[in-house]
Chain A
Amino acid sequence: MAIEKKKGLKKAALSDLITYLGVTAVFVIMSLLQSRGMLSRSLSGQLVPICCYVVMAVSLNLTVGVLGELSLGHAGFMSVGAFSGIIAAMCLQGHIASNPVLLLVAMVVGAFFAAIVGLLVGLPVLRLRGDYLAIVTLAFGEIIKDLINCLLVGYDSRGLHFAFNFNGKQNVDSLNLAEDGIAIIKGAQGAAGTTKLATFTAGFILVILALVVVLNLMRSRSGRAIMALRDNRIAAESVGINVTKYKLMAFVTSAALAGAAGALFGLNYSSLQATKFNFDTSILVLVFVVLGGLGNMRGSIIAATVLTILPEALREFADYRMLVYAIVLILVMLATNSPRLKAMLNRAFSPIKRLFAGKGAEKEAAQ
Chain B
Amino acid sequence: MKFLSDLISGISLGSVYAIIALGYTMVYGIAKMLNFAHGDVIMIGGYVSYCAMFYLGFPVWAAVLLAMLVCTVLGIVIEGLAYKPLRSAPSLAVLITAIGVSYFLQNSALLIWKADTKVYPSIVDGSLKLGQLTIPYVTLLTVAACVVIMIGLSIFTSKSKMGKAMRACSEDKGAAQLMGINVNRTISATFAIGSALAAIAGVLLCSSYYTLNPTTGSMPGIKAFTAAVFGGIGSIPGAFLGGILLGVIESIAKAYVPNLANAVVFAVLIVVLLVKPSGLLGKVVREKV
Partners in one complex: yes
| A residues with CB within 8 A of B | 64, 70, 124, 127-129, 131-132, 134-136, 138-140, 142-143, 146-147, 149-150, 165-168, 188, 234, 279, 283, 286-287, 290-291, 294, 319-320, 322-323, 325-327, 329-330, 333-334, 336-341
CB proximity of B175 to chain A, nearest CB, Å: 22
How many Å lie between the Cα of A234 and that of B278 in the bound state? 20
How many Å lie between the Cα of A168 and that of B254 in the bound state? 11
Contact of A290 among B96, B108, B266, B267 (CB under 8 A): B96
Beta-carbon contact of B262 and A142 below 8 Å: yes
* Interface residue? B124 (CB, 8 A): no
Beta-carbon contact of B262 and A128 below 8 Å: no
How many Å lie between the Cα of A166 and that of B82 in the bound state? 42
Given A136-B273, A323-B111, A338-B86, the answer on whether A333 and B226 have CB atoms closer than 8 Å is: no
* Interface residue? B269 (CB, 8 A): yes
Please indicate the chain B residues that have their CB under 8 angstroms from the CB of A135 in the complex. Answer: 225-226, 229, 269, 273
Beta-carbon contact of B222 and A143 below 8 Å: no
Beta-carbon contact of B229 and A339 below 8 Å: no
Beta-carbon contact of A334 and B258 below 8 Å: no
Contact of A136 among B93, B101, B269 (CB under 8 A): B269
* Interface residue? B1 (CB, 8 A): no
Please indicate the chain B residues that have their CB under 8 angstroms from the CB of A341 in the complex. Answer: 85
How many Å lie between the Cα of A329 and that of B287 in the bound state? 35
Given A64-B92, A139-B226, A143-B266, the answer on whether A333 and B97 have CB atoms closer than 8 Å is: yes
Please indicate the chain B residues that have their CB under 8 angstroms from the CB of A323 in the complex. Answer: 104, 107-108, 111
* Interface residue? B259 (CB, 8 A): yes
CB proximity of B36 to chain A, nearest CB, Å: 8
* Interface residue? B133 (CB, 8 A): no
CB proximity of B142 to chain A, nearest CB, Å: 25
Beta-carbon contact of A139 and B100 below 8 Å: no
Beta-carbon contact of A330 and B263 below 8 Å: no
Please indicate the chain B residues that have their CB under 8 angstroms from the CB of A337 in the complex. Answer: 85-86, 89-90, 93
- B282 nearest in chain A by CB position: A132
Tally A-B pairs: CB < 8 A.
Answer: 129
Please indicate the chain A residues that have their CB under 8 angstroms from the CB of B222 in the complex. Answer: 138, 279
Given A168-B258, A325-B103, A330-B101, the answer on whether A124 and B96 have CB atoms closer than 8 Å is: no
Please indicate the chain A residues that have their CB under 8 angstroms from the CB of B51 in the complex. Answer: none
How many Å lie between the Cα of A127 and that of B278 in the bound state? 12
* Interface residue? B151 (CB, 8 A): no
Please indicate the chain A residues that have their CB under 8 angstroms from the CB of B229 in the complex. Answer: 131-132, 135
17 intermolecular pairs with C-beta atoms under 8 Å apart: A128-B274, A131-B28, A134-B34, A140-B266, A142-B266, A146-B260, A150-B260, A283-B99, A287-B99, A291-B96, A323-B107, A323-B111, A326-B100, A330-B101, A334-B86, A337-B86, A337-B93
* Interface residue? B178 (CB, 8 A): no
CB proximity of B253 to chain A, nearest CB, Å: 11
CB proximity of A282 to chain B, nearest CB, Å: 11
Beta-carbon contact of A146 and B101 below 8 Å: no
Contact of B97 among A134, A136, A330 (CB under 8 A): A330
CB proximity of B209 to chain A, nearest CB, Å: 19
Beta-carbon contact of B259 and A165 below 8 Å: yes
- A64 nearest in chain B by CB position: B92
- B101 nearest in chain A by CB position: A330
Please indicate the chain A residues that have their CB under 8 angstroms from the CB of B86 in the complex. Answer: 333-334, 337-338
* Interface residue? B277 (CB, 8 A): yes
* Interface residue? B119 (CB, 8 A): no
- A70 nearest in chain B by CB position: B92
CB proximity of B115 to chain A, nearest CB, Å: 10
How many Å lie between the Cα of A64 and that of B100 in the bound state? 19
Complex interface residues of chain B between 246 and 279 (CB less than 8 A to chain A): 257-260, 262-263, 266-267, 269-270, 273-274, 277-278
Beta-carbon contact of B103 and A322 below 8 Å: yes
B74-103 interface code vs A (CB 8 A; 1 in, 0 out): 000000001001101110110111011101
Given A322-B107, A330-B82, A337-B86, the answer on whether A290 and B262 have CB atoms closer than 8 Å is: no
